[in-house]
Amino acid sequence: MRDTVTTPALPLGDDALILSHRLGEWAGHAPVLEEEVALANIALDLLGQARVLLSLAGDEDELAYLREEREFRNLQLVEQPNGDFAHTIARQLYFSTFQELLFEQLASGDTELAPLAGKAVKEVAYHRDHAAQWTLRLGDGTDESHTRMQRALDALWRFTGEMFEPVAGLEALPWATFHDVWTTRITATVEQATLRLPEGPQRGAWTAGAGRQGLHTEPFGRLLAEMQHLHRSHPGATW
């Protein structure tokens, strides 16, 4: 529907949009009401980021609701299904820790993303804290919660390498340093939670930057169908 958009706002906006939608799926299903509000708050923070970022890349509604799967540039990590609560927390921990590093760096730069990053980095610091607090409690909780938290960390590990693939237009950022600091922080949280850092590759043939190139995992199609069906069924609807 459009030529390739080259601004880095597009992939970063897609990350925020898709993760926001995933977290929104917890509405009505969270383990307790307090946690439901917490996840919804985080989802709304991310949606706010997505709106600013996608507006930098074009028309936010068109970009969110009218693109096909292959046109989305989000990480495969953020499109992974919610799974059990531990999977959602592991996804949050991995992504928020990365996003905080990225936005800190962008906030101190002079790109068009700096104003958004400066505002969002405070939100993301809270997202990371929320995930870390839950990782500690689940990991150092009951046998059941420990097992589930470890399983979730292991399951999502292979999607983490893609975060550190340089985003087009942001090649000058210190991506290798992001990876080092991210690994240090994740290791500290995981070990404090009596869990172990997953072994195995952080990327494979299908996960090395694939999301950024428009290649997505199977659950993503269903997410898009749900997210886009209202707009596609009733174009231009307002309320």
Partner 1 sequence: MTTTPRPAESRASGAPAEAADARPTDWPLWEVFVRSRRGLSHTHAGSLHAPDAEMALRNARDLYTRRSEGVSLWVVPSAQITASSPDEKDAFFEPAGDKPYRHPTFYEIPEGVHHL
Instruction: Please give the residue ranges that form the binding site for partner 1 (CB under 8 A).
Output: 31-35, 37-38, 41, 129-130, 133, 137, 141-142
CB of 113 to partner 1, least distance (A): 25
Judged by DSSP in three states, 96 sits in helix
CB of 2 to partner 1, least distance (A): 36
Q: Which is nearer to partner 1, 37 or 197 (CB)?
A: 37
Q: What angle do CA 11, 79, 118 make, to 5 degrees?
A: 45
Judged by DSSP in three states, 209 sits in coil
Q: What angle do CA 42, 194, 103 make, to 5 degrees?
A: 35
Q: Which is nearer to partner 1, 148 or 203 (CB)?
A: 148
Judged by DSSP in three states, 202 sits in coil
CB of 40 to partner 1, least distance (A): 9
Q: CA nearest 211: which of 7, 3, 53, 10?
A: 10
Q: Which is nearer to partner 1, 32 or 205 (CB)?
A: 32
Alpha helix ranges (H) inside the chain: 9-24, 33-57, 60-65, 76-79, 85-107, 114-139, 143-157, 175-192, 218-233
Q: Which is nearer to partner 1, 141 or 169 (CB)?
A: 141
CB atoms within 10 A of CB 20: 22
> Which residues have C-beta within 8 Å of that of residue 57, sequence separation ≥ 6?
5, 7, 9, 10, 13, 63
Q: Which is nearer to partner 1, 31 or 174 (CB)?
A: 31
Terminal Cα-to-Cα distance of the chain (whole angstroms): 26
Q: CA nearest 126: which of 84, 92, 157, 160?
A: 92
CB of 100 to partner 1, least distance (A): 17
CB of 79 to partner 1, least distance (A): 25
CB of 130 to partner 1, least distance (A): 7
Q: Which is nearer to partner 1, 74 or 92 (CB)?
A: 92
Q: Which is nearer to partner 1, 36 or 69 (CB)?
A: 36
CB of 11 to partner 1, least distance (A): 28
